[in-house]
Structures are given as structure tokens and as C-alpha cells.
Structure 1
Amino acid sequence: MDAFLAIASRRDERRYLADPLSEETVDRILDAGRLSGSSKNRQPWTFVVPTSRARVEALAEAVWAPENVRAAGLVVAIVVPVGRAAFDAGRAAQNMLLAAWNEGIASCPNGVRDGDAACRALALGDDEEPVIVLSFGRPERARDPESRAASEWSARANRRPLDETVREVA
């Protein structure tokens, strides 16, 4: 898929089918995060993947939208050293979200509502914090990115117009 088409057509999805994700798909999503750039190439993140139902449930209770975490075929918490590297974590997250979309997998970033509960759910150390929790799954409602041109997806996006978003200064 064309990179701009992937960016323009991707939407956050919170409803997933119960179908499991293949190991190959999971590996590609995680590797896309690993390949992200980072300040001074420090790669400060750890991708924590809860695999037990109890951990997923505990983590779901710590985010703002628990249902899509509960229903996801894959949940990934991006964890960094306390107080550092949020931008780098965002770069890794975006790579994973786009790689998933390329595989036909829907996804949604989930904000952490209760940091202490999330740390317990993920068995984190005192020097670690979750920046974002990503949920992935087969979309409940199929969407074909190539059914429209990137410009059409862009025009349909619920976003401020570009001329209200960009300010040029001389």
C-alpha cells in the first residue's frame, strides 16, 4: 500500500472480530515499532505484551476505553523510563499502527487513565511507565483503503482543514 494512502485511510477502530492475529502479523507489527527512529538512536522503549486474560483485564481497567482492549487480538503497552522519551514512544506507536493497517488490522491508541494500575498490570519496575496502550484486531467493519484515492480519504477525514493547521512565518 502507498504510504500516504495508508496514512489517509487509517482510522482508529475500537471494535474487533474475535479472530486471532497470526504470529507473522504480530511480529511485523512489533518489528515496525522496533524499527522506529529515536533520539540519538537510544531506542528507549520496551513493548510489553500482556498474554494472560487476567493481565489484559487488569490493563483494560487502567485505560480510558477498556472495551477495545478487552476485545483486541493483540495489546501492546509502550513503556519508557519514567519522565522520558514520550515523543520516541509516539513514533514507535505510529509505526505499529500503520504496519497493522497495511496488514488489514485495525487498531486504536488507548490513553492510560490510572498509571499505577497499569504499572501493576504490566509488572513494571519503579523506573518504568506506560506511555500508551495500543489495541489491535481484525476490524468488525471491513474497510478497503484502495476503494478511494488518498485525496478522497483526506477530504473525508474529521480533521481541521490544512489551511487552519499550518501557519507560515517569514
Structure 2
Amino acid sequence: MDTLLAIASRRDERRTLPEPLPDDVVSRLLDAGRLSGSSRNAQPWTFVVPTSRERIERLAEAVYVPENLRHAGLVVGILVSGKGPVLFDGGRAAQSMLLAAWAEGLASCPNGIKDADVARAALDAAEDETPVIVLTFGRPERPREAEARTVEEWSARANRKPIDAVVRRVA
């Protein structure tokens, strides 16, 4: 898939089938995060994959929309540690995983953390680790084809500010 088409056509999708994802697909998604760039190559992330229903339920209580986790085929919590732009690096890893999922034909969604203490406990975070985001993945209830539209068509349909509203050129 063309990179710009993947970026333009990818949407956060919460409605997934609850079936677990194949191990090889999970490995590719996690590897996409691992391969992300990071400041000074610090790689400050740890990807936590809760596997028990009990652990997922505890983590669901830490995010804004718990149902997203309860019905996902895969849940990944991203923890970061260290100094510098570690939150940005965690976001880079998350975006890489979300785009890799889209390339696999999967739905995915970042889930904001409303209670960091609950998330820390559910993700078994070390003292120096901070929960950044929880990602959910799964087979989409309604499959979508990126190639159904051009980049320009996807862009026109996106609920985004116009380019002139977000770009400022300075001399």
C-alpha cells in the first residue's frame, strides 16, 4: 500500500470482532512499534500485551471507553521510561503499530488513559515506567478498502482542519 494512501485512509475504528489475532500478525504489529525511530535511539518503550480477561478488564477501567478493550482481538499498553522526548517516542511507536495494523487489513484505535494509577497496576509497570496509551486491534466488523478512494478523496472526507489552518510559513 502507498504510504500516503495508508495515512489518508486509516481511521480509528472501535468496532472489531472479539476473536484473537494470529501470532504472526501480533508479532508484526509489535515489531512495527519496535522498529520506530526514537530520540538518540533510546527506544524508551515497553509494549505490554495483557492476555488474561481479568487483566484486560482491569486495564479497561483505566481508559475512557472500556468497551474498546473488552471487544478487541489484541490489546497493547505502551509504557515509556527515561528522560527527553519519551512521550513523543511512545507516540511514534503507537502510530507505527496503528499503520501496520491498517496494512494488515485490521481495525485499530488508540485509547486515552483516564486513570494512570489503575493503568500502571494493570500493566504491571515498573516504578520508572509511565503508561502513555493503550492500543486496541481486531478484525473490523465492516471491512474498508484503502484503494476504494484516492488520497485526495480520503483527504477531502477527513474530519480535519484545512491545510492552511495548520501550516504557518515563516521567513
Q: How many residues align?
A: 170
Q: Take 2:76 and 2:63, find their aligned partners in 1: how far apart are those partners?
A: 12
**2:37 aligns to what?**
37
**1:142 aligns to what?**
143
**1:164 aligns to what?**
165
Q: 2:110 aligned with 1:101, yes or no?
A: no
Amino acid at match of 1:160: K
Q: 2:125 aligned with 1:111, yes or no?
A: no
* 1:74-100: CA deviation from partner (whole Å, max 9, x where unpaired): 110110127750000000000000000
Which 5+ residue runs of structure 2 have no aligned equivalent? none
Q: Take 1:118 and 1:82, find their aligned partners in 2: how far apart are those partners?
A: 18
- Structure 1 stretch displaced more, 12-21 or 112-121: 12-21
Q: CA deviation at 1:143?
A: 0.7
Q: CA deviation at 1:146?
A: 0.5
Q: Could you tell me the TM-score, scaled by structure 1's length?
A: 0.97
- Structure 1 stretch displaced more, 80-89 or 137-146: 80-89
Q: Take 2:49 and 2:93, find their aligned partners in 1: how far apart are those partners?
A: 15
**1:72 aligns to what?**
72
Contact 1:82 1:129 survives alignment (8 Å): no
Q: Take 1:86 and 1:77, find their aligned partners in 2: how far apart are those partners?
A: 13
Q: Could you tell me the TM-score, scaled by structure 2's length?
A: 0.96
Which 5+ residue runs of structure 1 have no aligned equivalent? none
Q: 2:47 aligned with 1:55, yes or no?
A: no
Q: Take 1:103 and 1:109, find their aligned partners in 2: how far apart are those partners?
A: 17
Q: CA deviation at 1:127?
A: 1.3
Q: Take 1:82 and 1:88, find their aligned partners in 2: how far apart are those partners?
A: 11
* 1:25-61: CA deviation from partner (whole Å, max 9, x where unpaired): 1111000000000010010100000000000000001
Q: Take 2:32 and 2:153, find their aligned partners in 1: how far apart are those partners?
A: 27
Secondary structure of the 1:107 match is strand
Secondary structure of the 1:138 match is strand
Q: CA deviation at 1:20?
A: 2.2
